[in-house]
Chain A
Amino acid sequence: METKNIMIVGVGGQGTLLASKLLGRLILGKGFDVKVSEVHGMSQRGGSVVTYVRWGDRVCSPIIDKGQADCVLSFELLEAARYTEYVKPGGRIIVNSQQINPMPVIAGMAAYPENLVEKMAALDIQVDALDALSLAEKAGSSKAVNLVLMGRLAKHFDFTDEEWMDAIEHSVPSKFLELNKKAFELGRSA
């Protein structure tokens, strides 16, 4: 199988690490070679964060380069815009339309660009935008944004319901399991 590449991008503290842990479990369960790569430390403090998830028969590089991602899954609008270059021609961006102002915008030194979804849609990529924050709140917690986005991702990749449920059960605390499953379903059906 040709290597599949997913980039998860967002703002430090948004829960991107749980998403990559869940995907790692899901893919390893299928018997593929897999690499999941992230950067810890300075980048966590509300900075821009990137995780690379790659799987296939044989995966060498731990990172995804420009023009290689089958899918960029973005937890935040501006971060999606930052990484469009990494999507392969015809590839997909799934984007949570939530906006989190970076410090240069908060400090009034830069402006948050407007109409980003429309601008991204004009490129040779497929843009799937959703309000994951509202859906997560509907499921019971604003912290379930990651599971809403996982649900959305599930629409586009070939894993069974059971495989997803197994991965979710092994990645989230049991007392939040039902909430997270609900968030996953809302993301998938929205």
Chain B
Amino acid sequence: MKSLMLGNEAVARGLYEGGCSFVSSYPGTPSTEITECAAKYEELYAEWAPNEKVALEAAFGACLSGKRSFCAMKHVGLNVAADPLFTISYTGVNAGLVIGVADDAGMHSSQNEQDSRHYAQASRIPMLEPSDSAEALAFAKLAYELSEEFDTAVLLKMCTRVSHSQSVVETGERVLPAQKKYEKNPGKYIMMPANAKKRHPEVEARTKALTAWAETTEINRIETGGDPSCGIITSSTCYQYVKEAFGDTYPVLKLGMIWPMPEQKIREFAAAVERLVVVEELDGFIESHCRSLGLAVSGKELFSNIGELSQNLVKEKLGGNVQAGAALDEDIPARPPVMCAGCPHRSIFYVLKKMNLTVLGDIGCYTLGAVQPLGAIDTTICMGASVSGLHGFVKAGDGESAGRTVAVIGDSTFMHSGVTGLINIAYNESNSTVIILDNSITGMTGHQQNPTTGYNLKGDPCAKIDLESLCHAVGIKRVRVVDPYDMEICQAVITEELAAKEPSVIISRRPCALLKYVKHPGPICSDTEKCKGCKACMKIGCPAISMVNGKAKIDATLCVGCGVCEQLCKFDALGKAE
């Protein structure tokens, strides 16, 4: 049956059809929907793990037990999972193991634009790279065949434009392979030096065998074009840009497996064209391979390693003409993402800014606390870095920094890798103050459950981590809970905990305003008679408040009635409707 599917949905379909039975992932844009869609198939067990390392290790365990398994993550998640990745390369698999990783060139929703293809080469794990939804489905299935044939995990590399584009797919039936038995095999699965030394040559031999496969597989295909003055090697979404720009004019070598790459096929392709060009986003990965073969090639001197490419860019750089559109000669103000009206994070950041504190931030919706007019965050690095960074900042600081510095981290991010930083704070005794912004959900990626919410990926009730007990258990004696909507109490508690001569955790607890079960009191009204136009309420950056004719106006369709602006108004102009 033909249907229109998101690339991520198509991967999930490929997992289903390819006989995958176990999925463990951590959400991360643009990879999240793979696992959400996989969870909709009753035949697949699917879960959210607390982080990507746990997810990959769980998926490896499942493959060891004899079931085809999968885990998905965004590019930076693969950094977290890199430890098992490199050694799983040595052990190989029992049943097939596929690892989905989604890059984000252009940083639509990421903190860097690292190129995951390097991980394939570095870990010696083959990587397939689909260019649309149909290939995403087909490559997910193919990945299991390769995984079992070559005794290796297989990386399936997505990118924002493939993950988040819908295109036409043809669906098929699920074929479940015979269950494999787990058999003890210490030489293969116990990676201590004596065994690992024997496995490494196996890995290199496997790479040779995969390179030979790369020479003949149909997913590395040459498309003959009429004009051999230029031959283009490309893959992923860049293949689509090349085809959009030039149709079937130039010969194209489309690589479906990006590592290991063929040698002979590339040499033959290069020999048949006058000029060899590589079109790829981010690093010159294919280009470096071509150069290592001694081929003259153009790549990164034409196409930047910064941001995304497009059909116009490809056409222009290769000498084609593009049609321009007419831009307005006007300063168009940017429209950055903002915290939603009623967001429980807003008031905490207002308080932190008012107190003029140094705030080490983390990854999640609350990263928006860095945006003006709140502008309350000093750093954002990676998942968990706020807590561990705070420890170093306070320990190495001038003695006063302990009383002036906090870390802020969300509930899901704290579970992911914040708790290890907190253990370090307790163990090595830094006078740190950590604020856990517990909004009872993984917010930024679109409301995924996590170990603190009491529900699993399928939406069923499950064990719920008690944050207070957890903090106590790792050795933090001072644990306070506040309601972020009450700014006076928040400020008082933060002041007390900063003054305390030992580590403390403040849990700022209120569920995300967008959660369906959250009941709101109804919009605030503004009294234009009482409003003096002092703009105190504008300092919280609420999208529901604007100034009209010098007076505060509340947009009743957006306002949920959190009452934070009301606390800022000295003239009693904001309040619940009578």
Contact = CB atoms under 8 A, between A and B. Distances in A.
Interface of A: 11-12, 24-25, 28, 33-48, 59-63, 65-69, 78-79, 81-82, 84-89, 101-113, 116, 119-120, 123-125, 142
B515 to A, nearest CB: 15
Given A81-B330, A85-B327, A48 B545 contact: no
B323 A103 contact: no
Contact of B168 (A28, A38, A39, A46): A28
B77 to A, nearest CB: 14
Contact of A63 (B310, B324, B338): B310
Contact of A46 (B310, B535, B543): B543
Contact of A42 (B33, B311, B337): B337
Given A34-B168, A44-B337, A89-B326, 10 more contacts: A39-B30, A41-B109, A45-B337, A60-B241, A66-B312, A68-B325, A84-B326, A101-B546, A103-B335, A120-B328
Interface stretch (B44-52, B140-148, B365-373, B407-415): B365-373
Contacts of B244: 60-61
Given A42-B109, A84-B328, A34 B322 contact: no
A34 B168 CA distance: 7
Given A67-B323, A84-B325, A37 B446 contact: no
Contacts of B167: 33-36, 59, 62
Given A65-B310, A106-B546, A107-B538, A40 B168 contact: no
A168 B440 CA distance: 35
A46 B160 CA distance: 20
17 contacts: A25-B4, A28-B3, A34-B167, A40-B446, A43-B337, A45-B338, A45-B340, A61-B244, A61-B311, A62-B162, A82-B332, A84-B328, A86-B325, A103-B371, A104-B334, A107-B538, A113-B331
Interface string B428-451: 000000000000000011100000
Contacts of B310: 61, 63, 65
Interface residues of B, number: 61
Given A85-B326, A103-B372, A103-B541, A41 B335 contact: no
Nearest to B535: A108
A67 B322 contact: yes
Q: Interface centre among B325, B338, B340, B546, by most A CB within 10 Å?
A: B325
B519 interface: no
Contacts of B365: 45
A110 B546 CA distance: 13
Contact of B538 (A11, A106, A120): A106
A110 B334 CA distance: 9
Given A42-B109, A108-B535, A68 B333 contact: no
Given A40-B446, A113-B331, A87 B165 contact: no
A48 B335 contact: yes
Contacts of B331: 110, 113
A79 B335 contact: yes
Interface in B40-74: none
Contacts of A25: 4
A63 B312 CA distance: 10
A37 B161 contact: yes
A86 B325 CA distance: 6
Interface string B283-323: 00000000000000000000000000011110000000011
A68 B323 contact: yes
Nearest to B246: A60
